């Protein structure tokens, strides 16, 4: 008997479902995803052998992006789909099987609960956290396309201001690979703000090896897409989250108008 399909091995009835959604009836052409929205751990995994001080750091989730994502979705009437569990359990923006999918070390922190993980145990994490999240994104895109609703995929993230001892100067970055429609527009609008250091595929760049959401849901489905990364110290509190949500709502609203005028959507 294959026990990998038994949800009691990972998520029990007392665990929160992995997928979170807001504004399911949103009429915006944008669709927001948030792969590192939450930092929950399944009860069955305990604390992964880590102290709480590690579980609130950037290695566990994208600090501040949940608040920005919710506010921005409300501002623009956007359907948001997000993932509630910590990236330390399984990273929903990494190809399954990649070393960074279920990391044994994140930055300089050893994750004891991930050490020596069997392929079967890794597959259980995929089945009950990764797969439902990405299956739901697929379902949402299918439904939007079926009713003729334009779909522009925006994957929302945040990044730590200092990584491995190196300070990062960018306030915000645009992440992309094959799409040349949305990223140039976003870069132009962000740079026009005048008070921002804007990353062009910085601090990260999208690739088929290091990413999952944009390559699979955006590029493979020929959707206009981009990733957005905001520096975490700028959105670590509600004030910063409100400011960035309002700024991005103004910018993305203007971009949507441009895309409509150019008959792209």
pLDDT tens for residues 166-218? Answer: 999 999 999 999 999 999 999 999 999 999 999 999 999 999 999 999 999 99
Element (H, E) at 56: none
Are 50 and 87 spatial neighbours (Cβ–Cβ below 8 Å)?
Answer: no
pLDDT at site 1: 28
What pLDDT, in 10s, does the model give residues 43-74? Answer: 999 999 999 999 999 999 999 999 999 999 99
Q: How far apart are CA 69 and CA 34, in angstroms?
A: 8
Q: For the chain, give the percent of residues with pLDDT over 90.
A: 97
Q: How far apart are CA 31 and CA 77, in angstroms?
A: 10
Question: Does pLDDT of 7 surpass 50?
Answer: no
What pLDDT, in 10s, does the model give residues 66-98? Answer: 999 999 999 999 999 999 999 999 999 999 999
Q: What are phi and psi of 204, to 5 degrees?
A: -135, 160
* Residues 6+ positions from 108 with CB-CB distance below 8 Å: 164
Element (H, E) at 64: none
Rounded to whole angstroms, the maximal C-alpha distance in the chain is 61
Q: How far apart are CA 151 and CA 28, in angstroms?
A: 8
Q: For the chain, give the percent of residues with pLDDT over 70.
A: 97
Element (H, E) at 71: helix 65-76
If you count them, how many residues does the chain have?
265
pLDDT at site 4: 32
Q: How far apart are CA 207 and CA 88, in angstroms?
A: 21
pLDDT at site 135: 98
160 pLDDT band, cuts 50/70/90, is: very high
| CA nearest to 84, candidates 138, 155, 35, 49 | 35
Q: How far apart are CA 83 and CA 104, in angstroms?
A: 21
pLDDT at site 56: 98
Beta bridge partners of 227: 155, 175
Element (H, E) at 227: strand 224-231
Q: How far apart are CA 232 and CA 30, in angstroms?
A: 23
């Amino acid at each position: 008997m294959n026990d990998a399909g038994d949800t009691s091995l990972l998520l029990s009835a007392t665990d929160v479902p992995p997928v979170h959604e807001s504004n399911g009836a949103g009429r915006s052409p944008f669709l927001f995803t948030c792969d590192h929205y939450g930092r929950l751990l399944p009860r069955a995994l305990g604390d992964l052998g880590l102290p709480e001080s590690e579980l609130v750091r950037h290695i566990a989730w994208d600090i501040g992006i949940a608040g920005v994502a919710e506010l921005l979705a409300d501002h623009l009437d956007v359907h948001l789909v997000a993932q509630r569990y910590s990236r330390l359990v399984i990273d929903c923006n990494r190809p399954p099987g990649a070393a960074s999918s279920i990391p044994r070390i994140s930055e300089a922190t050893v994750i004891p609960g991930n050490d020596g993980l069997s392929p079967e145990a890794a597959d259980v994490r995929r089945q009950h956290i990764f797969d439902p999240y990405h299956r739901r994104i697929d379902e949402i895109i299918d439904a939007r396309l079926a009713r003729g609703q334009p779909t522009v995929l925006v994957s929302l993230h945040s990044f730590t201001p200092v990584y491995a001892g190196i300070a990062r100067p960018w306030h915000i970055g645009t992440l992309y690979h094959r799409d040349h429609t949305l990223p140039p527009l976003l870069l132009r609008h962000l740079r026009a703000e005048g008070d921002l250091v804007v990353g062009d595929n910085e601090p990260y760049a999208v690739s088929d090896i290091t990413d999952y959401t944009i390559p699979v849901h955006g590029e493979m489905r020929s959707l206009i897409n981009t990733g957005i990364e905001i520096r975490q110290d700028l959105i670590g509190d509600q004030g910063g989250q409100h400011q960035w949500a309002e700024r991005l709502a103004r910018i993305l609203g203007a971009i949507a108008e441009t895309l409509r005028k150019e008959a792209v959507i």
